[in-house]
Structure 1
Amino acid sequence: MKSMKNLKTIALTLFVAATTLTASAQNKKINVEKSKITWIGKKVTGQHDGTLNFSSGTLVFDGKKLKGGSFEVDMTSITVADLQAGKGKEKLEGHLKADDFFGVDKFATSTLEFKTIAAKGGDVYTVTADLTIKGKTLPVTFDLAIGTGTARTSFKVDRTKYDIKYGSGSFFDNLGDKAINDEFELTVSLVY
């Protein structure tokens, strides 16, 4: 009888501890209208830049400490900002949405899921996350700065690791000034 009572006490203690831990975590949904992703893709003869929109996203906090996060990006929203309508803008946006690049007909979303988070100092965290583009998931690491209701990061992604090889000098010879850098840069500004 005593061991049964001890088991009940242990079970109750674990339940209370789990409830306390769960209650302290706070999910902060991002404002998808105010949050932004900007991209820069470089090539031998210059660069292009543009934007992408979030479909959804959440940062998880325990008090003021970052504990997690997950995001979904609408790849069909990719736009080119440095070209004007009629000056190749539509052509480049169409090419970026095509199978040569992001294949948005088949892969309409990309995702990012935080896996490990380490406090770096102040309100900066080093995050390792799983980034899924075109159905392929690989880890990326970046520093995320947390502000009051905001978060910001910049990092590079090697597109060839996600089978986006068009114009890559790593895979094709004799591209000359048509070569496109393997890495593209992302700058992310979150508002929650």
Structure 2
Amino acid sequence: MRNTLLALAAMATLAAAGVAQAQTATYAIDPSHTFATFEIGHFGASVNRGRFDKKEGTVQLDKAAKTGKVELTFDITSINTGTPPFDKHLQSADIFDAAKFPTAKFVGDKFTFDGDKVVSVSGDLTIKGKTQPATFKANQFACYQSQMLKREVCGGDFETTIDRTQFGVDYGTAFGMPKNVRIVAQIEAVKQ
């Protein structure tokens, strides 16, 4: 009798796990609505801004369990500041060294929710071959039924501030450029 009860309990646990996994949905990043931009002060006079035009990734989201995972990869060679010579300098060995490190990546697997809304995603950010923890806080987050795609789309506007020297991006600090860089990531992903 005891073995039968243990077997039933094990089957119930497996069934519950299967139901929980079935609620995890996979979303593909929509590149036309996803960008990572960065801002860094320029000697206290202005702010330099740029973005990465090529990106890819996926989001797994279980709204009921309030869990998820996001993987985003950005092509360093697609950096766009609106000034081609500045883009080339950013891609050079002085700064991002795109020849050796062609991508930057964020993998986040710690989602924090407030009700049904994601309020932050924590994980690991890799730039120039160095990985550091990072938390992106959501300024806004929502899911909606796209009338054009006829599928659910989830997305948000997230931001964090990093110390670029932790990633080996030290250029200019010796002559007064700040270490802190603000990253804003607007992300929308389409349910698959």
Fold-level match, TM-score > 0.5? yes
Deviation at 1:3, TM superposition (A): 5.4
Which runs of 5 or more residues in structure 1 are unaligned? 82-88
Alignment of 1:125-164 (within 5 A): 125-144=119-138, 145-148=140-143, 149=153, 150-164=155-169
Gaps of 5+ in 2: 144-152
| Structure 2 counterpart of 1:187, from 173, 184, 189 | 184
Aligned residue identity for 1:35: T
Aligned equivalents of 1:121 and 1:3: distance in 2? 40
Return the letter of the residue paired with 2:79.
I
SS at match of 1:104: coil
Q: TM-score, normalised by structure 2?
A: 0.81
Aligned length: 176
Letter paired with 1:25: T
Q: Distance in 2 between matches of 1:7 and 1:54?
A: 52
Does the 8 Å CA contact 2:74/2:103 hold for their aligned counterparts? Answer: yes
| Aligned AA (1:78) | I
Q: What is the alpha-carbon distance in structure 2 between the residues aligned to residue 6 and residue 66 of structure 1?
A: 31
* 1:90, distance to aligned residue in structure 2 (A): 2.4
Q: TM-score, normalised by structure 1?
A: 0.81
Contact 2:122–2:134 (8 Å) recurs in 1: yes
In structure 2, the residue matched to 1:167 is 172
**Which position in structure 2 is the counterpart of 1:119?**
113
1:53 matched to 2:53:
yes
Which of the pair has more CA radius of gyration?
1
Aligned to 1:109: 103
Q: Deviations over 1:102-157 (max 9, x none)?
A: 11111111111113222246724122221011111111123123123321112212
The 1-side partners of 2:177 and 2:42 are apart by 4
- Other structure's SS at 1:181 match: coil
Kindly indicate whether the alpha-carbon contact (under 8 Å) linking 1:120 and 1:126 is maintained by their aligned counterparts in 2.
Answer: no
Residue identity in the other structure for 1:182: K
Whether the 8 Å CA contact 2:53–2:80 is kept in 1: the answer is no
Cα offset for 1:17?
Answer: 1.8
Q: For the Cα contact (< 8 Å) 2:24–2:61, is it kept in 1? A: yes
Alpha-carbon contact 2:162-2:180 (below 8 Å) kept: yes
Identical counterparts, % of pairs: 24
* Alpha-carbon separation, structure 1, partners of 2:23 and 2:73: 25
Amino acid at match of 1:91: P
In structure 2, the partner of 1:86 is: none
Match of 2:32 in 1: 33
Provide the residue aligned with 1:85 in structure 2: none
Name the aligned partner's letter for residue 125 of structure 2: L
